[in-house]
Homo-oligomer: A and B are copies of this chain.
Amino acid sequence: MAAHHASKARLNVGLIGLGRLGQVYARDLSSRLAHTRLAAVSDTDADLAKKTAAELDVPRSFVDPGALLDDPAIDAVVICTPTHTHCDLAIAALERRKPTFCEKPLALSLAASEAVGDAVRRTGTFFQMGFMRRFDPGYAAAKARVEEGAIGTPVVFKSTSRDPYRPSLEYANPASSGGLLVDMGIHDFDLARWFMGEVATVQAVGGTLAYPEMKAVGDIDNAIATLVFADGRLGVIDLTRNGVYGYDICTELLGTSGTIRVGYIRQTPILLMTKNSIAQDTVPYFMERFERAYTLQLQDFVENVRLDRTPPVTVEDGIEALRVAVAATRACQTGQPVALATAAAAGA
């Protein structure tokens, strides 16, 4: 978090991982963000790295992310690779004292996530966790209104996440995705902590109800998790892969003097009315819903590094959201409530 970044007109960012989301980050870093230069990209697919660099006028491209990290021209790093690689790459970046942004989830295991936490503390290097919903203007507005006291004391947190179709079976495999409650739920568990604080106990139920073929890889397609926060307040999260009508993300904070809801499902503001029917369209998928949040999140990272500010989403946020998600997964598998202290001990 050296002050010298602030003196630069533009922060030179290296981006590791050029998959679907990596491409969006590459575009944002190269053209949409102020005070930013996409100085290098890296991907294990050499052609993809070269092609992306050429298209976006990026000076350097690498196959080996270590080479990117060693490049002294790189001021800061964005990690956007498959989850199982986050831990090693983040630690490598931190050890080189490169300010680092890491896409969610932090890791698949609590042990791995805590290793990153150790590296952050050991190296004293800036680390920002990627939970883009916090940067969505809707969620940000809701947070602001709750903090202003618009609903009194929030007593119940409700959140729903729905994908419009199931992922590939390869992706869904809990060995790589962490399973439904980690892969999809991590965002809702992070929001739960952001709005309400730490979770004490988790209960969960789930099932493979819409896509029986997912049983082959061992994942469920629907789950409901209930949370009791440390102070006794309540939460409930429902997740589904069969939100076939569209991508639907909504959250509610019920308080003692009101309630606030955030979320929308219409894509275009048109209403088609025909015989006995009023029809709207829906949001197709996550990029249509959260494109702006992704951009705002990266801009925030760049400014935090340039201006030597502390990260608004920390490595601890990454660890604790994962801890709840892992506990929920266990609760769902055993049919028994899981107290978070137990989860922490078992996960460590």
Which A residues contact B (CB, under 8 angstroms)? 31-32, 34, 137-138, 141-142, 145, 150-151, 153, 155-156, 158, 201, 203, 205-207, 209-210, 222-224, 226-228, 232-234, 236, 238, 240, 242-246, 254-266, 268-282, 284, 335-337
- A277 close to B279 (CB less than 8 A): yes
- A277 close to B273 (CB less than 8 A): no
Bound-state CA distance A275–B242 (Å) is 10
Q: Among B138, B280, B337, which residue has its beta carbon within 8 angstroms of that of A268? A: B138
Q: Give the Cβ gap from A312 to chain B, nearest Cβ, in Å.
A: 19
Between A and B, 22 residue pairs with Cβ closer than 8 Å are A138-B269, A138-B270, A141-B268, A141-B281, A151-B274, A153-B210, A155-B210, A156-B209, A203-B205, A209-B256, A240-B254, A243-B254, A244-B256, A245-B278, A258-B275, A260-B272, A262-B268, A262-B269, A273-B282, A276-B281, A276-B284, A336-B336
Q: Among B209, B228, B258, which residue has its beta carbon within 8 angstroms of that of A232? A: B209
- A262 close to B273 (CB less than 8 A): no
Q: A271-B260, A273-B265 are in contact. Are A205 and B222 (CB under 8 A)?
A: no
- B261 close to A270 (CB less than 8 A): yes
CB-defined contacts of A210 to chain B, threshold 8 Å: 153, 155, 256
Number of copies of this kind of chain in the complex:
4
Q: A150-B272, A268-B141, A282-B278 are in contact. Are A207 and B222 (CB under 8 A)?
A: no
CB-defined contacts of A226 to chain B, threshold 8 Å: 203, 205, 224, 226, 236
Q: Among B205, B257, B337, which residue has its beta carbon within 8 angstroms of that of A335? A: B337
Other than the given A207-B228, A279-B280, 18 more pairs (CB < 8 A) read: A31-B34, A141-B270, A155-B209, A156-B209, A158-B238, A209-B233, A222-B234, A222-B254, A224-B226, A242-B254, A244-B256, A245-B273, A245-B276, A258-B274, A261-B271, A262-B268, A262-B270, A273-B282
CB-defined contacts of A257 to chain B, threshold 8 Å: 244, 274-275
Bound-state CA distance A249–B165 (Å) is 28
Q: Among B201, B234, B273, which residue has its beta carbon within 8 angstroms of that of A246? A: B273
Bound-state CA distance A275–B280 (Å) is 11
Bound-state CA distance A335–B265 (Å) is 35
- B268 close to A137 (CB less than 8 A): yes
Bound-state CA distance A75–B207 (Å) is 49
CB-defined contacts of A232 to chain B, threshold 8 Å: 207, 209
Which residue of B has the minimal Cβ distance to A260? Answer: B272
- A155 close to B203 (CB less than 8 A): no
